[in-house]
Amino acid sequence: MQKYILSLIILAFSLQIFAQDLSFSVVVDPQITWMKSSSDRIQRDGWNFGYNIGLVMDKFYTDNYALSTGLSILNTGGNLHYLDSMVFDFGSGKDTLPPGTTVSYKLQYLTIPFSLKLTSSQIGYSTMFAHLGLNNHINIRAIADAPEQNINGEDIKEGINLFLMSYFMGGGVEFSFGGNFAILAGIYLTGAIWDVTTNKDYRVYVNSLALRLGVKF
């Protein structure tokens, strides 16, 4: 993770040189993630921990209004408990898991957000912000564990949709150190709009609650 953070900071400084009218932030979002299904035969089973790390670009059109985008790597997932037997298309071949199996999904996405950011006037050294929009995800890794069936780190990309869209909403505070440099912290809630899996019999959604920590340039 340290290599990712260093690379993003260098990228932010480089972009700032060529786009003085833009604001850039390097963010890290530790988060709690969970999955749910539209089927009553598939139950959520606890929480997982994930993280999102990336670069956010804000283009301000007034002092209090900006359009925002960026690029990040999202690690998310969750646990689903299947009450019926299920056929999974693993990288090593198809396998039928017996009823009562819990599968832990570990998913990684390349994420490009498009959003609206609203900020308050600066009070002392602090500025409050609200942030809401849509995330566009491209799946780059999908594995599953089912310890009861001796399944660990199996590739399940064939059963995961390549594209995913989610909504997010959040808010927080920025603390300025002068000029464009500030640190920020916030709370974000994210929920999938599109189905995570390719299964036609039911839908699966992934959600998260994240703490956003960042440095703004």
Residues 57, 70 contacting (CB under 8 angstroms): yes
* pLDDT (tens digit per residue) in 150-194: 889 999 999 999 999 999 999 999 999 987 789 999 999 999 999
* pLDDT (tens digit per residue) in 167-177: 999 999 999 99
Residues found in the chain:
217
Q: What is the mean pLDDT of residues 35-45?
A: 94
pLDDT at 75: 98
CB neighbour list of residue 7: distance below 8 Å, 6 or more residues apart: none
CA distances for 183 relative to 107, 136, 161, angstroms = 29, 26, 35
In the structure, what pLDDT confidence band is assigned to residue 20 with cuts at 50, 70 and 90? Answer: low
Cα angle value 174/11/124 (rounded, 5°): 15
CB neighbour list of residue 123: distance below 8 Å, 6 or more residues apart: none
pTM of the model: 0.88
* pLDDT (tens digit per residue) in 137-151: 999 999 999 988 888
Instruction: List, in order of start, the domains of the chain with CATH numbers.
Output: 2-216 (2.40.160.20)
pLDDT at 1: 54
